[in-house]
């Protein structure tokens, strides 16, 4: 696979003007990524990730893609629709702990009406999404801690890996390690939710410093709300990390060291507890 020159996703998103691509992802987002907030409003929750994935397919033409964290499918369907737009014979494997047939609270906009219903991803995909796109997607149900070692043992390699499952420190360290080990030569990785201001963002922030050692090119760029609006912290929007040029010589994941990350993650989680902070508000 040919490696393109620097894609520069940050500048690309900041000056984004591509009405066809904007509309393609918007329509998918309304069906697979809308978020219902506590105040009853609906928000396009970082639909920009779909634009970045679409752009990656255009630039890199990946044939094999692994997504960690299917969610309701925006990432996977954005990849499949981009592959159709750019004539790429793509296969997407996507992993989630929630089975696609399990009913969940599902926010969606259909024919201009926004609603929250109880439905499974399978039901929504069958009713509202193109079966030709769904045919490109293979779902795997289970924790990444179970599925990734199986895929690695089977010798699977991927041209593009999108990491967007658990965001706690252990999950990010675990998923990034297996993903890097399964990256095909010349492959690229994308991590969602670089979010230093938010509790869940700490895993990605810490692992980022290791990624700078392990990859030749690392680009951190803001995404949330830049094109579709709706950022939670507009002054410091959530972002993504793009990685290419793996420096790994030894692809073995040292599983024993993951125990350290499990303990460190549990301790860090406790740092958010108000009762453990040295100051009180009252």
Ligand X SMILES: C[S@@+](CC[C@H](N)C(=O)[O-])C[C@H]1O[C@@H](n2cnc3c(N)ncnc32)[C@H](O)[C@@H]1O
**What residues from 262 to 281 belong to the interface with ligand X (CB under 6 A)?**
none
75 binds ligand X (CB under 6 A): yes
- Strand order, beta sheet including 91-96: 137-141, 91-96, 64-68, 158-163, 183-194, 239-246, 215-222
**What residues from 95 to 114 belong to the interface with ligand X (CB under 6 A)?**
95-98
Number of Cβ within 10 Å of residue 49's Cβ equals 25
Stretch that binds ligand X, among 7-15, 34-42, 92-100, 106-114 (CB under 6 A): 92-100
What are the backbone dihedrals phi and psi of residue 147, each rounded to the nearest 5 degrees, phi first? -75, -40
Nearer to ligand X, 98 or 114 (CB): 98
225 binds ligand X (CB under 6 A): no
81 binds ligand X (CB under 6 A): no
Nearer to ligand X, 45 or 183 (CB): 45
User: Contact with ligand X (CB under 6 A): which of 7, 44, 100, 166?
Assistant: 166
Interaction mask 47-66, ligand X, x per CB under 6 A: --x-----------------
Separation of alpha carbons 38 and 40, rounded Å: 5
Q: CB within 8 A of 158, min separation 6: which ones?
A: 62, 64, 65, 66, 93, 179, 182, 183, 184, 187
User: Contact with ligand X (CB under 6 A): which of 71, 100, 222, 230?
Assistant: 71
Angstrom CA distances, 200 to 9, 177, 248, 268, stand at: 23, 19, 28, 11
Binding residues (CB under 6 A) for ligand X: these are: 33, 49, 67, 69-71, 74-75, 95-98, 143-144, 164-166, 171
């Amino acid at each position: 696979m040919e490696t393109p020159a620097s894609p520069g996703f940050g500048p690309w998103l900041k000056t984004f003007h591509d009405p066809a691509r904007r509309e393609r992802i918007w329509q998918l987002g309304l069906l697979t990524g809308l978020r219902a907030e506590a105040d009853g409003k609906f928000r396009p929750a970082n639909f920009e990730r779909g634009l970045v994935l679409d752009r990656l397919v255009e630039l890199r033409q990946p044939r094999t893609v692994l997504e960690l964290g299917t969610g309701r499918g925006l990432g996977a369907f954005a990849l499949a629709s981009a592959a159709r737009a750019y004539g790429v014979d793509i296969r997407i494997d996507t992993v989630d702990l929630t089975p696609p047939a399990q009913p969940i609270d599902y926010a969606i906009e259909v024919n201009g009406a926004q609603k929250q219903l109880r439905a499974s991803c399978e039901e929504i995909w069958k009713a509202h999404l193109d079966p030709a796109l769904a045919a490109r997607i293979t779902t795997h149900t289970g924790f990444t801690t179970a599925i990734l070692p199986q895929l690695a043992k089977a010798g699977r390699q991927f041209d593009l890996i999108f990491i967007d499952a658990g965001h706690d420190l252990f999950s990010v360290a675990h998923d990034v390690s297996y993903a890097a080990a399964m990256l095909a030569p010349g492959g690229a990785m994308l991590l969602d939710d670089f979010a230093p201001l938010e509790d869940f963002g700490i895993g990605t922030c810490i692992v980022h410093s290791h990624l700078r050692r392990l990859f030749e090119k690392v680009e951190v760029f803001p995404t949330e709300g830049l094109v579709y609006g709706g950022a939670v912290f507009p002054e410091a929007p959530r972002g993504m990390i793009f990685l290419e040029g793996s420096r790994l010589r030894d692809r073995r994941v040292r599983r024993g060291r993951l125990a350290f990350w499990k303990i460190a993650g549990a301790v860090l989680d406790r740092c958010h507890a108000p009762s453990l902070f040295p100051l009180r508000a009252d």
